[in-house]
Amino acid sequence: MKSLVNASGLMVLLLVSACGLPVNQLSEKERKIDMEWAFSVFHHNYAPAELKKTNYGVEISQVESDCVAMAQEEMDNQAFLALFQKCIHTFKDAHVGAQQMNNGLLPEYAQVAHLGFITMRTKTKVDGAPVNALKIIQQLKGSDNSGAPLVPNDLIIRIDGQPVKDYLMQEIVPYINVGQDETSLTQAAFRFGVRTSIDMALPEKDEIELVVARGSMVFTIVLPWIKQDMLAFQLKQNPPEAKPEVIPQGDTLASKSLPGKEFQSMDDVVADFETGVRPTSLMGLSQNSLAQAFLGYQDVKELINSFDTPLAFVGNRLKWIAMTGYQWAKFNPLMRLLFDGDLDKDRALSLALKNRVLPQSEQVTDLMTRPLFKAQMITTDEGGTYAYIQLKNFPSEDKILTEWYRAITAIEDKGIKSVIIDMIDNTGGSLIHGLRMVNMLRRKPIAYPSMQVRLNNNWINSFKSQAAFSESDYQKAISGKVAAQLVADLDAGKTLSSPFSVTVMDPFFLQNPGFGVADDVKVALLVNEMCVSMCDIFASIFQENEMGQIIGQRTMGGGGNVVQHGLSPISKMGMALTESLMISSSGEYLEDSGVEPDIYVDMVADRESGFSSAFKKAYQYITSQKQ
C-alpha cells in the first residue's frame, strides 16, 4: 500500500507540472476569472492588508476593481502576465510574488528582450555627487566577441535621458516592488539588461540610449533590444550537457563520463549548504519548479517522506508553515539561471556578491573543523584575534543548529572577545531555527517579538494539528491554547489574530538562556537592504536586546511567513503571500519598517570595495574599549 501511495503522489506532481498557460489567447472572461481568483486569495489569506492601507493607501477592494477592469481590456497573454505581476506588486511586499507554470520552457510561451549583458547596481560620482549606476559584470553568449560595444566594468549612468534610479523606478520596479526602494532598485538592476515577458512588460522601443562611463571617458551609445523566444535564449545561453559517451560492451563501465556525481565530497556538501542548494530526492523531484514553488513544501523529499510518516509530518506542521524567506530568483527562471551560475559563465556576479575585505586579516583559519558555513578566526598583525561568521540564510535542516553551536562554543573555547556576524544579502529561512540561533548568541533572557496571523484554516489547523499530534504534552497544551484563541478571534469577526509570542513555536528552547557568548564579548552584526524575513527578525531581536551594534543599511522589511497558493484556474499562476506579521518587542511591525542600523554605511556603494567601510566600522566597534 505504501508504494501505491508514493506512486500516486508522484503521478499527481508529474501531471500538474504539465499544466501551463494555454497556447490559445485568453479570452476576456478567462482573464477576468484568473484576476478574480488572485484577489480572492488575497482577501482570505493576506495578513498585512490593513497595514498596507495605512502605510501606502493600498486597499485590496480598490486594487481588485481596477485590475479586474484592466484584465478585460484587449490584450495578449504576455500583456496579461505583466498586468498580473503589476497588480499583485501594488502591495509592495517582499513575500508577494507569482509565477506561471511553464516559465517559458515551451516555444512561443514567453519572450526575452536583452542588451547582451548583465548588470548590477552600484554607485559612482557625477560632478562630485554620488549617483546610482549600473555596472556591466558579464556579457551574454553571442555578445561577448571582440567587437562588443560595452564591456565588463563599464558603468551606465543615464538611460534614455533619465538618471538610472528614475528609469528603474518607472520601468521595472512596478513589477517587482518589495516596499523598500533601496531593495527594489538593487533587484531591478539585475533585470535591466535581461527582461522576460513572464514577469514584466518588454520594452516598447527597439532601441535604448545609454550614457556610459569607462574610466575617465564618458560617452553616449544607442543599442538595439535583442528580442528572442525565451526557450531559444535559454538553450543558447545554457545548452544541454552532451550525452555521455557509451563504452563498447566488454568494458567495465557503462560510460566514460557520467553527468553529476553519485557521492558528494565534503567540499561539495559545504558548498551546497552555503548556497542553500537542497539535497536531491526520488526521481529528481526536488528540482521540479512546480513542486519547489507551489506545493508549500521546502523540499519535495519531505513530501515523499510524509507519505511514509504522515503523523510525524502533521505533528511538525507548524515548522513548515513558519517559514520566512526571499529568493532573489524564485519567480523568474532567467534570474534563477543567473544566480545559479548558468548565465554567469566567468563567475563575475558570484565573485561580486561574495567579495569581502576583512580588516587586519594577517592570518585566517577556520574557527572549527570543517565548518558548513564560513566561520573563521582572524589573527591581526598586532596579534589580536576576532571571529568572523557569515550567514547567507537560515536553512530548515537541523544541522544549521549544530554548526551554530560549534561556532559559539569555539569562540568561547578560544577566548575570542570580538565577533563580526555577516548577514549581508541574507534571504531568511526557518523562523524556528533563526530564533534558536539568536537565543544561543547570548547568556541572558531575551525579549522576543510577538506575531499576528491571518485568521484562516492554514494557521488554525496547524496549531490544532500540533495540539493533537505533538510528541510533547507541553507543546500540545500550548498549541491547543493558541488554537482556541485563534478560533475565538475568528468568531469575533477579526481577520488578524490577537498578538501572541513567537515562543509558542518552540517554547522551552527559547526560554533557556543558559548558552551563548559572555557579556564581555563584543558582537557586530552587518546587514544591508537585502537582509529580509528571518534576517529582519534576527536583526530586530539583536538590536532590541542590546546584543551588540548593527552596522550597514536598513533591512528590507519583510516581517512575516510566506505561504504558496495555486494554481489559478486558467493560466495556472501560483502566488506567494505573507500570512503573518511580526511585531518587535517594542511594539513596531517589521513589515515595511525593517531595522535601522546603529552605524550607517551605504552598502550599495560599499559593495565595490568588498564592504571595506562596513567591516572597518565593525572592527573599530568590536576592538574598542567598553565604556
Q: How confident is the model at residue 354 (pLDDT cuts 50, 70, 90)?
A: confident
* pLDDT above 60: residue 282: no
Record the cell numbers describing residue 462, joined without a space: 496547524
pLDDT (mean) for 61-71 = 98
- Comparing C-alpha atoms, which of 616, 606, 590, 624 is closest to residue 180? 590
User: How far apart are alpha carbons 239 and 141 in whole angstroms?
Assistant: 11
pLDDT (mean) for 583-593 = 95
User: How far apart are alpha carbons 105 and 234 in whole angstroms?
Assistant: 9
More confident residue, 361 or 24: 361
pLDDT (mean) for 378-404 = 93
Query: How many degrees, rounded to 5, is the angle at CA 431 between CA 461 and CA 602?
Result: 140
* pLDDT above 50: residue 178: yes
User: How far apart are alpha carbons 108 and 299 in whole angstroms?
Assistant: 30
pLDDT for the residue numbered 251 = 41
pLDDT for the residue numbered 341 = 64
- The alpha carbons of the chain give a radius of gyration, in whole angstroms, of 25
More confident residue, 361 or 306: 361
pLDDT for the residue numbered 321 = 52
DSSP state of 487: H
* pLDDT above 50: residue 261: no
pLDDT for the residue numbered 598 = 98
Record the cell numbers describing residue 463, joined without a space: 496549531
pLDDT (mean) for 416-430 = 94
Tens of pLDDT, residues 322-352: 555 555 445 566 666 666 666 666 777 778 7
pLDDT for the residue numbered 424 = 96
* pLDDT above 50: residue 288: no
Provide, rounded to the nearest whole percent, the portion of the chain with pLDDT above 70.
78
Q: Kindly tell me the burial class for residue 116, based on how many C-beta atoms sit within 10 Å of its own C-beta (0-12, 13-18, 19 or more).
A: buried
Tens of pLDDT, residues 470-505: 888 988 999 999 999 999 999 999 999 999 999 998
pLDDT (mean) for 524-548 = 96
User: How far apart are alpha carbons 283 and 17 in whole angstroms?
Assistant: 14
Quote the pTM value. 0.84
Q: What domains can be seen in the chain, in order of their start residue?
A: 111-237 (2.30.42.10), 361-441+516-557+594-627 (3.90.226.10)
pLDDT (mean) for 46-64 = 96
pLDDT (mean) for 90-108 = 80
pLDDT for the residue numbered 9 = 37
- At 521, is the secondary structure helix, strand, or coil? coil
Q: How confident is the model at residue 235 (pLDDT cuts 50, 70, 90)?
A: confident
- Comparing C-alpha atoms, which of 553, 607, 613 is closest to residue 353? 607
What is the average pLDDT value for the chain, to the nearest integer?
83
CB atoms within 10 A of CB 381: 9
pLDDT (mean) for 276-294 = 35
pLDDT (mean) for 229-257 = 62
Beta bridge partners of 599: 551
Tens of pLDDT, residues 549-579: 999 999 999 988 888 887 899 988 889 999 9
- Cα–Cα separations (whole angstroms), residue 521 to 198, 419, 516, 592: 49, 7, 10, 32
- Comparing C-alpha atoms, which of 91, 90, 94, 89 is closest to residue 52? 91
pLDDT (mean) for 192-209 = 94
> With contact defined as beta carbons under 8 Å apart, do 566 and 591 qualify?
no
Element (H, E) at 54: helix 49-56
pLDDT for the residue numbered 257 = 34
DSSP H stretches of helix in 117-224 = 164-171, 181-191
pLDDT (mean) for 199-210 = 95
Long-range CB contact pairs, 487-493, < 8 A, 24+:
487/460, 489/455, 490/455, 490/460
pLDDT for the residue numbered 563 = 86
Q: Which amino acid is at 18?
A: A
pLDDT for the residue numbered 103 = 53
